[in-house]
Structure 1
Amino acid sequence: MSSQSDRTGSAARAFALGAALLVGINLRPAITSVSTLLDQATRAFALTGVERSLLATLPVIAFGLTAPLGPMLSRRIGTSRSLLVAMAVLAVALVTRVLAGWMLLPGTFLAGAAIMVAATLLPPYLKSLDASGLWVGLSSMSFGVGAALGAGFAVPLDSMLGGVAPALAAWALLAVLAALAMIPIGRGDRSPGQRPPRIVIDGGNRLTMIIMTAVFSLQALLYFAVTTWLPLMLASHGENRAVAGLLLGWFSLIGLIPTLVAPVIARRRRILTWFGPGLGIVMGASFAWFAFDAGSDVAIVTILGIAQNAGFGLAMGLLVSLAADAPSAGLLSAIAQGVGYIVAGGGSLLFGVVHDATGAWTATLVLMALCGASLSAVVALVIRRRPVSLVAR
């Protein structure tokens, strides 16, 4: 009987971890598909220059503005049920935003909010399942898989489905699949009447949270600046839209293994001391190279794909390893990701404004290189911190 119970429990845990991967796949196609089809969407929906920049950066802005929703919803209905709701809302938002021109920006904001709820709840969800570094890496890697799918299939879907609207709405099917996967898991979630633990933040923990938030902010800013503007940067180098979309997909695809490995490295202090800061240095050097060399696009995108996806995987791994328990992981995740995505959204929008003001991407890329150097510094600080417990004893 005990053996049968153990097998059942192991199977349920494996299914729950697999569902986390399916949720992760849904957290990037809504962004990278729009980036790849940005010019087509601008024409199809008759967008102004400001509206175009908003369409490209609004999901990330929504991430920051709606970060508290994940923990709030989780405290009421539980983490698994909240992930189910997030995937259902994402599916609805992806379809409704292309039904009429006036719904495009509000629907995009709603999609961003749903993605943010899921993103903030995945670390505590994994923590509650006692996920290993490998599973955290796989979860982080699933984000890259989704990003690659969104970028790589955007143009083919546009051609096959006969327009940008159905091409953008098609990604709702993935969200529906993730929602269905979360239904049996949500049935066993904490009951709404159960009181959540009380959270307390003291001085030492506060410093760790500040540094971790800086790490997440800088890596998110650089990651989303690339996924938002890379196709247009490549177009300025003479690449056509299909090639630019494929290179954006390659940026995510080449980063899958680094994203998988980085959270494992995050738990190995000796390697982390040089690996973590080194990622920021590589990013900074690559952006500087991109700024002044228009003939090495494939090489630069490859290096950036490896370094930046590893940086994202490292940040996700640190969110889990720097938290002593699931409630602490939830709060640390919400604060770091919430502030981080506000910085990422505002910074990506600013980069677009700098491009419009200068007529070129050089100044923007130089700013991104400086952000890479700053990321190296804050990672060097955060890896020296101890795990935090934010639960009142």
Structure 2
Amino acid sequence: MDAARPPTSANKTSDGTVAVWVLAALILVSINLRPAVTTVAGVMGQLQAAFGVDARLLPVLGALPVLAFGISAPCGPWLAGKLGAGRAVAAALMVLAAALVIRVLVPGMLLPGTFLAGSSIMAASVMVPQIVKANRGGGWWTGLCTMGFGLGAALGAGLVQPLQDALGGSLSGALAFWAVPALLAAFLIGRPGSGPAKPATAGQGTPAKQGASGVLLPSRMPLSSGVPLRRQRTAWAVTAFFGLQAMLYFAITSWLSVYLVSRGLEPDAGAGLLAWFSVAGLPASLLAPVLAARPAVLKLMAPALGMLVAAALLGVLMAPAELQFLMVGLLGIVQSAGFGLGMALIVLRSAGPRSAGGLSAMSQGLGFALASLGPLGAGFLHEWSGGWEVPFWVLSAEAVLLAVAGYLAVRGPLVSAGAAHPERLGEPADVGR
């Protein structure tokens, strides 16, 4: 059988080319999964005049994409079961591009369009860890993808004002611009293969296609049976860790610029520091998954990050305005490391590709549903208390809970989808077929 033939140097070269292509496509996908959120956060003060949004709805707007994340998480695995992983991600990105245009060009569609954008982002996002796991991607793969998330967040926040100026002051054009890279990523991740497919047999009796590289490409994601994820303690610990770090992230990105302006900074400086928050964290989002691949480091890193986030939050609260560049940068480093570790835990704490896909849907789905409370809760606490001290102290207490979740996530058994047959890590997801 072709799939069982001994590897040759030509096969290895071809397989390596496919791996590089998949990784490049995944990085571009990751870059497109945050600008829809951070572009709006960076111009929150302009939305009322530009789109007639009631000021009381601004906290809801900040929470909408995160709420959509939680609701739409099952859509990714479902689409992958129908289309294959690569085409499912491509379809989600095309919907994202449409939502980015509709929400700013169609009157009254800012909130519904933002919800649709969040739903499509999550449908694509939950497939990233599964594709990494299925292609035997290690810590560097996860790190590069998580760095892509951070880079996209930084570009969204940092370029929205320059784009608006370049487009003659058009805020709608600056927000809709991000549909272009989303369509490019959809093309790359769903690009057809260059050779005819040959029949092959994937593990678990799954129908498969064999591309020009000779790599097995499962055409459907098999369903698992056995102990459900909801009965596995490690799955809940990973979900709690992911949800708590996401709640902190979206609370910070939704209100950091507003908080900094209240401290006397100009709106442009506040938006710039929001972009700096993401840029400063890029190296950490890359290195955290790489370091987490070492068990001894992982056991220390998971609980320690939560405590560092708590300390950084209090630093931003207490530091004078002239030190906010430093403190926001430190917060960006530890917060981005937490996100990188959250993505890495999905890969590291799962038994195989299907388990990674199931754990990704559970942790990101429930986690982002929890995270939707972050922007709303921070905004409510600010209004209720009349200041920012209470929101920052509550977020710091939440970071302590993040440390507890990290401690539990790295000490339980691996999460298994409970399949009747062993999962094969050598079965890449059908990206670029």
With the length of structure 2 as denominator, give the TM-score of the two structures.
0.87
User: For residues 24-103 of structure 1, what are the structure 2 equivalents within 5 Å?
Assistant: 24-103=30-109
Q: Percent identity of the aligned residues?
A: 40
Instruction: Tell me which residue corresponds to 2:404.
Output: 377
State the shift of 1:122 in Å.
0.4
Counterparts of 1:269 and 1:205, CA distance in 2: 24
Kindly tell me the number of residue pairs found equivalent between the two proteins: 393
Counterparts of 2:377 and 2:327, CA distance in 1: 23
- Would you identify which runs of 4 or more consecutive aligned residues in structure 1 move more than 6 Å? 186-189
Gaps of 5+ in 2: 1-6, 198-206, 210-217, 421-433
Counterparts of 2:83 and 2:208, CA distance in 1: 7
Instruction: Tell me which residue corresponds to 1:131.
Output: 137
Counterparts of 2:29 and 2:221, CA distance in 1: 26
Instruction: Tell me which residue corresponds to 1:314.
Output: 341
Q: Cα gap change, 1:151/1:186 in structure 2, threshold over 3 Å: closer, same or farther?
A: farther
Say whether 1:171 aligns with 2:178. yes
State the shift of 1:101 in Å.
2.8
State the secondary structure of the residue aligned to 2:191: helix
Instruction: Tell me which residue corresponds to 1:155.
Output: 161
Say whether 1:299 aligns with 2:326. yes
State the shift of 1:99 in Å.
1.0
Instruction: Tell me which residue corresponds to 2:428.
Output: none
Q: Which of 343, 346, 361 is residue 388 of structure 2 equivalent to?
A: 361
Per-residue CA shift, 1:72-94, capped at 9, x if unaligned?
11112111111110111111110
Counterparts of 2:134 and 2:122, CA distance in 1: 19
- Between 1:101-110 and 1:263-272, the stretch displaced more is 263-272
With the length of structure 1 as denominator, give the TM-score of the two structures.
0.95
Say whether 1:14 aligns with 2:20. yes
Counterparts of 1:55 and 1:148, CA distance in 2: 19
Greater per-residue helix proportion:
1
Counterparts of 2:41 and 2:70, CA distance in 1: 19
Counterparts of 1:283 and 1:36, CA distance in 2: 22
State the shift of 1:43 in Å.
1.4
Counterparts of 1:112 and 1:18, CA distance in 2: 23
Instruction: Tell me which residue corresponds to 2:304.
Output: 278
User: For residues 328-367 of structure 1, what are the structure 2 equivalents within 5 Å?
Assistant: 328-367=355-394
Instruction: Tell me which residue corresponds to 2:272.
Output: 246
Per-residue CA shift, 1:92-150, capped at 9, x if unaligned?
11011111231111111110001001111100011111101111111111000101100
Structure 2 contact 143–285 (Cα < 8 Å) conserved: yes
Gaps of 5+ in 1: none
Structure 2 contact 292–301 (Cα < 8 Å) conserved: no
Instruction: Tell me which residue corresponds to 2:415.
Output: 388
Q: Which of 99, 114, 119 is residue 120 of structure 2 equivalent to?
A: 114
Letter in 2 for 1:225: A
Counterparts of 1:78 and 1:288, CA distance in 2: 45
State the shift of 1:56 in Å.
1.8
Counterparts of 2:297 and 2:91, CA distance in 1: 39
Counterparts of 2:190 and 2:364, CA distance in 1: 26
Counterparts of 1:247 and 1:46, CA distance in 2: 26
Q: Cα gap change, 1:52/1:257 in structure 2, threshold over 3 Å: closer, same or farther?
A: same
User: For residues 202-241 of structure 1, what are the structure 2 equivalents within 5 Å?
Assistant: 206-241=232-267
Give the RMSD, CA atoms, in angstroms. 2.0
Q: Which of 282, 294, 297 is residue 268 of structure 1 equivalent to?
A: 294
Q: Cα gap change, 1:8/1:105 in structure 2, threshold over 3 Å: closer, same or farther?
A: same
Counterparts of 1:156 and 1:199, CA distance in 2: 51
Counterparts of 1:111 and 1:237, CA distance in 2: 32
Larger Rg: 2
State the shift of 1:351 in Å.
1.2
